[in-house]
């Protein structure tokens, strides 16, 4: 909004020209989202506590130490969404199609999560996995139509660039649509599975936000894209502002979600954040980089697949418990140790993903 209000004033006062710059608006979006989340967090958490009085129930089969968490309110993802979407709408160029696709994805997945959380709190039973998956599928397919039906002149084409191989793309034709849908819905559910320890899911979002800020900026910059020989998508640079807001909102939420957590993000947060990074990957033509940038989420999801497959096929478990963070809990690792070590792995994977932009 500020972009549209203040840039026109630049013809009279050169100072307002600064609002044109992506870097300035991205940094301001980060700071704004951080301030908004720190301001709305305490009153919202109090309200969630009152509304949920008993807080979240803890399942019988959950590792013992989670018993202490009983009474912690959930749906703290509302803090993240308020800060993220508020700051994006404040600082981004609202005529940019990609900004609206990622904003609608974040809000849409957040709505599905909110519905699930509300049902869990009211009826002790959330949406069925099938209903949740169907809603996510429909939302992702709807968002992809906005991207697909646009002038190809801006350089965005439904192909899959291959990491490390300069200029190589996988042209799947229409098959790109189910693949892109899978990327977005898969990311949403992988973040959801990972959100099982204080700060575990939100930390890698900060790193993914930073990685996508760099990728969006370079992808939207003709000279940089040409030098790095990555796909140049005209207008994708504006997503850097969203990424700044994502980092700020995530850092702000971490203030309340660090151990011992005052609040959990809930599905309203985890589904929204996963949908956001999946959509960023599709819009910046980094679909095949997402498994690296969101490497921790992939590892956690794969640990569940391995555990369930092994149990069904052999009746034996590979891990003490899946997702992987529970395995280390049962190994006796302290919660903060698991979380910080998982963050370190996540950070290394995000750096490796960025290195592929050059190492091609
Ligand atoms: C999402 N939810 C947390 C909180 C958060 C198929 C199977 C792998 C599904 C999986 C499952 O139920 N996943 C749901 C994980 C839950 O967190 C809530 O959910 C929201 C995210 N969606 O925002 O509202 C609990 O996690 C803890 N927590 C924290 N700090 C946080 O910041 O401590 C969450 C956020 C919270 C709190 O205790 O209540 C969760 O773990 O349920 N199932 C599992 O993950 C279960 N694993 C399992 O059954 N493994 C089996 C098979 C199926 C693979 C096996 O290994 O044999 C574990 N989770 C629970 N109990 N609750 C273990 C058993």
List pLDDT tens digits, range 261-271. Answer: 999 999 999 99
Q: Which residue, by CA, sits nearest to atom 8 of ligand 1?
A: 304
Tell me if 76 is assigned to some domain.
yes
Least confident among 2-11, 92-101, 140-149:
2-11
Tell me if 321 is assigned to some domain.
no
The alpha carbon of 263 is separated from its chain's Cα centroid by a whole number of angstroms, namely 18
195 close to ligand 1 (CB < 6 Angstrom): yes
Probe residue for ligand 1, chosen from 62, 196, 269 as the CB with the greatest number of ligand atoms within 8 Å:
196
267 close to ligand 1 (CB < 6 Angstrom): yes
Tell me the CA–centroid distance for residue 54 and ligand 1, in Å: 18
Tell me the CA–centroid distance for residue 195 and ligand 1, in Å: 7
Tell me if 328 is assigned to some domain.
no
Q: What total number of domains does the chain contain? A: 1
Tell me if 314 is assigned to some domain.
no
131 close to ligand 1 (CB < 6 Angstrom): no
Tell me the CA–centroid distance for residue 58 and ligand 1, in Å: 9
For residue 17, the model assigns a pLDDT of 86
Tell me, yes or no, if the pTM score tops 0.85. Answer: yes
Tell me if 85 is assigned to some domain.
yes
- Domain interval for residue 117: 2-291
Band of the pLDDT at 66, cuts 50, 70, 90? confident
Tell me the CA–centroid distance for residue 261 and ligand 1, in Å: 15
Tell me if 334 is assigned to some domain.
no
Q: Which residue, by CA, sits nearest to atom 3 of ligand 1?
A: 196
Band of the pLDDT at 10, cuts 50, 70, 90? confident
At 169, give phi and psi (nearest 5°).
Answer: -130, 150
Tell me if 347 is assigned to some domain.
no
Tell me if 232 is assigned to some domain.
yes
304 close to ligand 1 (CB < 6 Angstrom): yes
């Amino acid at each position: 909004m500020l972009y549209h209000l203040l840039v026109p004033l630049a013809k009279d006062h050169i100072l307002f020209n600064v609002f044109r710059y992506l870097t300035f608006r991205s940094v301001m979006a980060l700071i704004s989202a951080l301030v908004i989340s720190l301001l709305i967090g305490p009153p919202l958490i109090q309200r969630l506590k009152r509304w949920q009085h008993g807080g979240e129930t803890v399942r019988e089969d959950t590792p013992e130490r989670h018993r202490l968490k009983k009474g912690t309110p959930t749906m703290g993802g509302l803090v993240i969404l308020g800060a993220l979407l508020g700051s994006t709408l404040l600082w981004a160029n609202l005529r940019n199609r990609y900004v609206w696709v990622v904003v609608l994805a974040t809000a849409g997945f957040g709505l599905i999560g909110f519905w699930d959380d509300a049902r869990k709190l009211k009826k002790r039973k959330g949406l069925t996995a099938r209903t949740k998956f169907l809603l996510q599928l429909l939302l992702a397919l709807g968002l992809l139509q906005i991207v697909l039906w646009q002038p190809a002149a801006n350089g965005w084409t439904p192909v899959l660039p291959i990491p490390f191989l300069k200029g190589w793309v996988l042209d799947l034709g229409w098959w790109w649509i189910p693949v892109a849908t899978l990327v977005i819905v898969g990311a949403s559910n992988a973040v959801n599975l990972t959100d099982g320890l204080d700060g575990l899911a939100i930390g890698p979002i900060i790193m993914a936000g930073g990685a996508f800020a760099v990728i969006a900026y370079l992808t939207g910059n003709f000279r940089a894209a040409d030098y790095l020989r990555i796909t140049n998508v005209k207008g994708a640079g504006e997503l850097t502002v969203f990424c700044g807001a994502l980092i700020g909102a995530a850092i702000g939420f971490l203030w309340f979600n660090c151990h011992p957590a005052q609040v959990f993000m809930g599905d309203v947060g985890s589904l929204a954040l996963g949908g956001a990074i999946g959509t960023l990957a599709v819009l910046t033509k980094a679909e095949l980089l997402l498994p690296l940038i969101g490497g921790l989420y992939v590892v956690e999801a794969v640990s569940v697949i391995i555990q369930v497959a092994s149990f069904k096929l052999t009746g034996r478990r590979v891990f003490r418990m899946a997702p992987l963070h529970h395995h280390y809990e049962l190994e006796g690792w302290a919660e903060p140790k698991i979380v910080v070590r998982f963050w370190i792995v996540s950070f290394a994977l995000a750096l490796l993903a960025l290195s592929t932009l050059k190492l091609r």
